[in-house]
């Protein structure tokens, strides 16, 4: 635990090359161990993780009959649902008929009428039991699942999904170790800006992942899966589906790092916030290209859904960069003039 939470080396410490390599080795070992533990947990909960990843795929299937689909598999699933509902309704009606026939048998005036009504009641109850058995045979899970084609593919696909989930789960620890190794390179004044910006990375990434999973991915899958479905028996291979989902979600998570890019190029003096705002048309075109690459669907709605938050983040980033420029000129860090001039001068004197 002490190794995991070990604070970064001080900026004023002077480490040899061997000590730097030892520090890097220690950080990498912690990252690997954390990833192994996260992978083991995710592999243990692989069923739950696969259900979560399959949820957008299941949401795109129309099994309630509200929209007519020509996909034979969806038609079969809707037929099963309708048949089960009919058998359950028949069972209820037949039991009511049996109860009514039994009541008529109790009121019968002759033995022949009683026998006839009892026979009718027995037949109704038998038909009700047959309908109940037929309704019970309805498949509980009519949702389409990704298919596997190879003998080992169920195992290898499960391992792959668990590994991706493990990376996501271990990401905070991995980022902390990366930050702890990089931060000593920053002066105290630079660290005041670098630490908040680096801390935003996981939050922006997880925000992009959540937006992709809950908003964009179901619509992209819905378009692709139902495209020209009257000409195909649409089967989705598990390996390709999970690869598509990971690239899709991870790509949007990375694209949500736009605020960091904008702040970095403005603080370095490459471009000013005014220049970025003035050329917003080119930025919009670049975002459209990026959205088209990350969302490889011809559906314009999916691309627009991916572009909207990116453009909003870009505009907010320009406001943040403009505020930072008012606080401190580009090319300088907060407090650098007050805190670091003497330290820089001392360092240069020592080098001389």
pLDDT in tens, 259-286: 888 877 777 677 778 888 787 778 778 7
Per-residue exposure over 78-108, b if at least 16 CB sit within 10 Å of its own CB, e if not: beebeebeebbebbeebbebbeebbebbeee
Report whether 180 contacts 8 (CB < 8 A).
yes
Mean of pLDDT over the chain: 77
- Percent with pLDDT over 70 in the chain: 76
d(CA 190, CA 199): 14
pLDDT for position 334: 45
Q: Name residue, tokens 């195992």.
A: 155
Q: Cβ–Cβ contacts within 10 Å for residue 333, how many? A: 20
Model confidence pLDDT, tens digit, residues 71-119: 666 677 777 778 888 888 998 998 899 899 888 888 887 888 888 888 8
Between 306 and 42, name the one with better pLDDT. Answer: 42
pLDDT for position 45: 92
pLDDT for position 110: 82
Model confidence pLDDT, tens digit, residues 162-202: 999 999 888 888 888 887 777 776 666 666 667 777 778 88
Threshold 0.85, pTM exceeds: no
Q: Which of 75, 4, 58, 54 has its CA nearest to residue 33?
A: 4
The pLDDT-based confidence of 203 (bands split at 50, 70, 90) is confident
């Amino acid at each position: 635990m002490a190794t995991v939470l070990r604070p970064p080396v001080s900026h004023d410490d002077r480490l040899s090359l061997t000590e730097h390599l030892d520090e890097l080795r220690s950080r990498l070992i912690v990252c690997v161990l954390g990833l192994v533990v996260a992978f083991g947990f995710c592999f243990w909960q692989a069923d739950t993780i696969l259900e979560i990843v399959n949820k957008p795929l299941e949401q795109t299937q129309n099994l309630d009959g509200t929209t007519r689909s020509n996909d034979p598999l969806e038609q079969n699933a809707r037929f099963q649902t309708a048949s089960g509902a009919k058998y359950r309704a028949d069972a209820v009606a037949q039991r009511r008929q049996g109860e009514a026939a039994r009541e008529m048998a109790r009121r019968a005036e002759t033995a022949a009428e009683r026998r006839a009504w009892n026979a009718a009641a027995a037949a109704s109850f038998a038909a009700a039991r047959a309908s109940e058995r037929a309704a019970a045979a309805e498949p509980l899970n009519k949702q389409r699942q990704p298919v596997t084609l190879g003998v080992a593919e169920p195992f290898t696909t499960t391992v792959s999904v668990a590994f991706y989930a493990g990376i996501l789960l271990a990401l905070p620890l991995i980022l902390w170790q990366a930050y702890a190794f990089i931060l000593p390179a920053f002066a105290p004044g630079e660290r005041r800006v670098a630490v908040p910006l680096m801390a935003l990375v996981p939050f922006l990434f997880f925000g992009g992942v959540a937006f992709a999973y809950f908003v964009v991915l179901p619509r992209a899958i819905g378009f692709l899966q139902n495209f020209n479905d009257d000409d195909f028996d649409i089967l989705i291979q598990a390996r390709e589906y999970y690869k598509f989902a990971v690239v899709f979600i991870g790509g949007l998570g990375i694209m949500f790092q736009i605020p960091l890019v904008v702040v970095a190029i403005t603080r370095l003096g490459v471009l000013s916030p005014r220049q970025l705002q003035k050329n917003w048309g080119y930025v919009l075109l670049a975002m459209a290209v990026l959205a088209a690459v990350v969302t490889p669907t011809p559906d314009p709605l999916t691309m627009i859904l991916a572009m909207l938050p990116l453009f909003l983040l870009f505009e907010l980033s320009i406001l943040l960069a403009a505020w930072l420029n008012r606080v401190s000129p580009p090319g300088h860090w907060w407090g650098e003039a007050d805190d670091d001039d003497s330290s820089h001068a001392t360092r240069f004197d020592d080098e001389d």
